[in-house]
Chains A and B, each alone.
Chain A
Amino acid sequence: MTRFLPAEDYLPSGRYELLPFRFERLEGERVLLSNMAGEALTVSSADLTTLVNGDLDRSGALFSRLRANHFLRQPEDRAALELLALKLRTRYARLRDFTSLHLFVVTLRCDHACRYCQVSRQSADRASFDMSRATADRAIDLLFRSPNQALKVEFQGGEPLLNFDLIRYVVLSITERNRQHKRDIQFVITTTLSLISDDTLAFCREHRIVLSASLDGPEDLHNANRPRPGADSHARFVAGLEKARDVLGPEAISALMTTTAASLQRGPGIVDEYLRLGFHGIFLRHLSPYGFALKTKSYQGYDTARWLEFYEETLTYIIDLNRSGVRFTEQHAAIILRKMFSCHDPGYVDLMNPSGAGIAAIVFNYDGGVFASDESRMLMEMGDDTFRLGSVHEHGYDEIFSAPALLSALEDSFTLSAPMCADCACEPWCGADPVYHHARHGDPLGRKAESGFCQRMKGMTRIFIKAMEDPFVAALFRRWALSC
């Protein structure tokens, strides 16, 4: 008859070894730990000390949790190393695919005069501010040089529909040329919807183009942010929205908000407006620094702290909606949570490390200028052309993608070699944002202690971790993360 040994006999003996991890202190003597693959746990401050001293009780629940989650191992645990390596490889797999998002700025002309916009021109001068076919052709050449099988083409402006002829030309041209290349291509037009016509919608339906529109909140807020002749931006948006949904289906139109100082008081109201208009989620965007002149440090700090209050309040409101049975997602959270819940990168350009600039996205301006990101373009409108990588008319693919401006921005901002970032527990979920840091601090790395970007990311992660102490929220966040 076989003798069965008790569980105690299978506990490991001898010293355990730490596996690489980072920590950040939270409030109330709690500490956040994250391992090499970006998986997180919270422990008490005392437990952290015990852990590092090698004194953790081998029979305790904490030891088995840390061992199962790859924060420590016994010397005989070989699988842990292979699994961590696998997870790391998954995290960086996206790099191989290279540039996916290609923005075509087809015109700077716009019917709106949004207060935070830096680029649009109130002008009828097509020649000066529209992209030409010649420029488009060269940009398309560069597009197909990308090794990525999946390409996303996004039309930006101004108001892109004001140059719809060029959009039509680009879509048809790319579709035709793609017969040879056989990539998966998705088209998006960012538009206010104020000028959407039946013809435009028919074309969009035919080529499966999706629309990305702006909705800042309830009518008064939206119109105050986004003036146009007739002061009817919101009404036109709603009319355009319904019309577009009738032709393209609701899933084809998404809405983005821009957050201004006025928005900070109105979080729940903004969410309600999205809900009222039939959207199933919202992206609570941070205040963009580009619409304002560079401010003093203190203003910037106030901004981030105040924004985090707005964010937490609005997120709580959204969670409560879900509690009451309404499915509504906060998409900014979903993107960050995806990085916390899995090793699969959501591909959100602004939160990538190495930076998404160039690697994930590239911008072709109306005049053929090539930029590392949309923010880079806006920076140039403010007089700083640091991140202008060249021109489609003068430079080839290699010159653009190995432009010193791009390479040094990527290298200098790489978080794993950046002070503070290299030690930060949130690093796996964060990103490098060289353009922001250049604009704010004068170098791509920035001074993280003063960085609004850093404060925002740390602030948001803390909010998520606290909220997930509630099992309902943990399950909700997991669903958001894994379906985004």
Chain B
Amino acid sequence: MAEDNGLSVTLDAQAYDPWAVHQAAYRLSDRLAIQVAIDGNTIQCTLYPVTEGTNSHSLLVARADFLREVTDQMLRARIREATEPVRTLILAYTFSRSGLQK
């Protein structure tokens, strides 16, 4: 635990994308306020509880949730990257042709 009651999580900047970390933080913002700092090869995250009466156990649960969420955001980024070209192609088709829609 950090001094100011925040829980620290250190992520390898090679393995994790800061964008994914921010997205995860946003998703959990009803429960956690997360401070993100980039420090060379690491991404330093400090998790602060939002609701009062959060004990250290629930903070550990929150950390698990946060890590899982970060992993999911990485997965989303991967899917997005892999499908970006075909998405553009489909949208081009969508707005270019006519006839089937009356």
- A residues sitting closer than 8 Å to B (CB atoms) are 17-23, 25, 36, 48, 52, 81-82, 84-86, 88-90, 92-93, 297-298, 301, 419-420, 423, 447-450
Contact = CB atoms under 8 A, between A and B. Distances in A.
Contacts of B101: 89-90, 93
B30 A449 contact: yes
B67 interface: no
Contacts of A21: 79, 83
Interface in B34-82: 51, 72-73, 75-76, 78-80, 82
Given A17-B86, A85-B94, 7 more contacts: A18-B82, A20-B80, A20-B86, A23-B75, A81-B93, A85-B93, A93-B101
Nearest to B100: A86
B29 interface: yes
B26 A449 contact: yes
Given A20-B86, A52-B75, A86-B100, A420 B26 contact: yes
Contacts, number: 77
Contacts of B30: 297, 301, 447, 449-450
Nearest to B87: A20
Given A25-B72, A449-B28, A423 B93 contact: no
B90 interface: yes
B27 A88 contact: no
Contacts of A36: 87, 90
Given A86-B100, A447-B29, A18 B83 contact: yes
Contact of A85 (B73, B76, B97): B97
B2 interface: no
A259 B32 CA distance: 31
B8 interface: no
Contacts of A423: 23, 73, 76
B89 A81 contact: yes
Contact of B86 (A19, A297, A298, A301): A19
How many chain B residues sit at the interface, stated as a range, is 20 to 34
B23 A419 contact: yes
Interface of B: 23, 26-31, 51, 72-73, 75-76, 78-80, 82-83, 86-87, 89-91, 93-95, 97, 100-101
A26 to B, nearest CB: 13
Contacts of A84: 90, 93-94
Given A20-B87, A52-B79, A89 B27 contact: no
B27 A82 contact: no
Nearest to B29: A449
Given A298-B51, A450-B30, A82 B93 contact: yes
Given A17-B86, A18-B79, A81-B86, A89 B94 contact: yes
Nearest to A51: B79
A196 B67 CA distance: 60
B53 to A, nearest CB: 11
B78 to A, nearest CB: 6
B22 to A, nearest CB: 9
Nearest to A73: B86
Contacts of B23: 419-420, 423
Nearest to B51: A298
Residue in A17, A89, A93 whose Cβ sees the most chain B Cβ within 10 Å: A89
A388 to B, nearest CB: 30
A468 to B, nearest CB: 24
B56 to A, nearest CB: 21
A80 B100 CA distance: 16
A336 B73 CA distance: 26
Contacts of B27: 420, 449
Contacts of B90: 20, 36, 81, 84-85, 88
Nearest to A31: B72
B32 to A, nearest CB: 9
Nearest to B75: A52
Nearest to A423: B76
B25 to A, nearest CB: 10
Contacts of A447: 29-30
Closest 10 CB pairs of A and B: A85-B93, A449-B30, A20-B83, A85-B94, A449-B29, A450-B30, A88-B94, A20-B87, A84-B90, A18-B82
Contacts of B31: 449
6 contacts: A20-B80, A84-B94, A86-B94, A419-B23, A449-B27, A449-B28
